[in-house]
A and B are shown apart, each in its own frame.
Chain A
């Protein structure tokens, strides 16, 4: 009987194609939006986690200024963002005091400035962010710089000053090769290396967050920025690696205390804290968006209810006939509920496919939009949306249940009809 009703329900849906598809569309939009947002969110969460795992949880990020408060709450989140994007204005911090802490293995600093760039093959000038690096930084914190893979030329030497390493994209844009000159403000810099493009690599690794910003980065020795812009010892951000045995949070606090003794207060944040807080920021954004998407799903369900009420009304006589030839109330009830459940699950299935398609497309677009790598003073997120089987099963189940629930009231109305009255209905 149940199977027969499913067959009949399918038949009825097919018979009212336009209305059925429009109703289904309402569910498709809702489910697609929810699935897309959740899988994008999951993908981002995963990539953040993977990225920080690759950087290593024994890395502490330090940026000048700020208070001694712990990085939590809204203030803390601002701190995270500041740290990510290379902090505010560069300030003088004497990192050599870090040698006093036994748990510190290595450290390095970045200074980020924005400068006028010119080259022979570039029409006019470009206003770009330049990253000054302390020597050895790209080796100590290799993962943070995505391996800093040199495609042509070489990496920095300790004695290098007016030399520059370019990201693949920026090298193309400026039209320069290894050995050419790039002018920053009024000083000529020799291009000594060009990095491998990370764009293709990022796609290949799937879920990993990659420093897409590397492609647009201009890297120079930090000392040459001091020559250009003055302010010896100024940094935007420092990375500190502590030994594996160290309690990273304690070390982070120790670093903070150390610098406040020298009256150059710093903000510190561990890779884990940063990861947690980025994830929590992402999660709350994701939750808000998903809630909005869920509202559209609810509207879709109301559409199903509307269609089913129309259907019951329109088929009143049919219901009368069914009852005259032996259909019980529950037969009528289940027929209509299966119909609305089917509308729901068909919408759900298409919605899941659409959602998966949207989120994989959005993955590319969004990671481009968020591209702010260390080259421009931050981290870029490129990721593959993550589709857990539970999300898909859950979405299908939810859309069937939602459809069936939306059908309860109309189906009950149909089931409760008195056969004589239903038969008399024209």
Chain B
């Protein structure tokens, strides 16, 4: 379970102060497939960063599992991200110089998994996402859909509790997008993984069991 209690987050963009989140209360239960929807600039990416321990709130608390992570150290958050959260980004965010296999191995490397073990697991994960024949390709040698599948395999590397996907289909054609969404729903259904989708696309949000709308840094009821 992830619970946000009156979370406020402001940041500086040059000289202007942006109030990204203006007091957000939110609960996401284990095993849920949730979509967070909102137009660009609504604060949905900031919300995702807070949910996954990439960022910390200025006010309020973020409870991950049974721990308040809003005041924890950088190392604590790094470990949380590494072990318990998997991120899938809109821009794939693979390390361009590394092969698919190396990219999937990387999160396990940071957790000190032995080389041989992680290599096998990375290979297994890539086979699961249908890229068993692309193990030694670099990101530039892969299509967008394939890259996003590598990124998903990477997100699963340390068997996280929560998968956070920020516009996972934003840079994909509809067919590849559909494949990714099927993969994510499958993970939720078969493994009971909590999946949080951040999107502005109603079609994508349609896959979710619950949709949370966000406007101007506040959770809205517009769609209810």
Q: A-side interface residues toward B, CB under 8 Å?
A: 1, 4, 11-12, 15, 317-318, 320-329, 331, 418-420, 423
Interface size on B, residues (CB 8 A): 30
User: Could you list 28 A-B pairs, sorted by A, with CB under 8 Å?
Assistant: A1-B110, A15-B97, A317-B93, A318-B95, A318-B96, A320-B93, A321-B95, A324-B89, A325-B106, A325-B107, A325-B110, A325-B154, A325-B155, A325-B157, A326-B81, A326-B82, A326-B83, A326-B107, A326-B111, A327-B78, A328-B75, A328-B78, A328-B79, A328-B110, A329-B75, A331-B110, A418-B55, A419-B81
CB distance from A21 to the nearest CB of B (A): 17
Whether A423 lies near B107 (C-beta < 8 A) is no
User: Main secondary structure on chain A at its contact with chain B?
Assistant: helix
Q: 1/0 per residue B99-141: CB within 8 Å of A?
A: 0000000110111100100000000000000000000000000
> How many angstroms from the CA of A342 to the CA of B96 in the assembled complex?
21
Chain A hits for B157, CB < 8 A: 325
Which chain B residue lies CB-closest to A320? B93
Chain A hits for B49, CB < 8 A: 420
Whether A322 lies near B106 (C-beta < 8 A) is yes
Contact pick for A325, options B75, B82, B96, CB 8 Å: B82
> How many angstroms from the CA of A300 to the CA of B109 in the assembled complex?
33
Chain B hits for A321, CB < 8 A: 93-95
Chain A hits for B54, CB < 8 A: 323-324, 419-420, 423
Chain A hits for B81, CB < 8 A: 323-326, 419
Chain A hits for B75, CB < 8 A: 328-329
Which chain A residue lies CB-closest to B93? A321
Whether A12 lies near B97 (C-beta < 8 A) is yes
> How many angstroms from the CA of A419 to the CA of B97 in the assembled complex?
20
Any A CB within 8 A of the CB of B74: yes
Any A CB within 8 A of the CB of B98: yes
CB distance from B10 to the nearest CB of A (A): 13
Besides the known contacts A325-B157, A326-B81, A328-B78, 15 further A-B residue pairs in the complex with CB atoms under 8 A apart: A1-B109, A4-B109, A318-B96, A321-B93, A321-B95, A324-B81, A324-B93, A325-B82, A325-B87, A325-B107, A326-B83, A326-B107, A327-B78, A327-B82, A420-B49
Interface residues of B in 18-56 (CB under 8 A from A): 49, 52, 54-55
Chain B hits for A329, CB < 8 A: 74-75, 78
Q: 1/0 per residue B65-90: CB within 8 Å of A?
A: 00000000011001101110001010
Chain A hits for B107, CB < 8 A: 325-326
Chain B hits for A11, CB < 8 A: 97-98
Whether B82 lies near A420 (C-beta < 8 A) is no
> How many angstroms from the CA of A324 to the CA of B89 in the assembled complex?
10
Which chain A residue lies CB-closest to B98? A11
CB distance from A394 to the nearest CB of B (A): 33
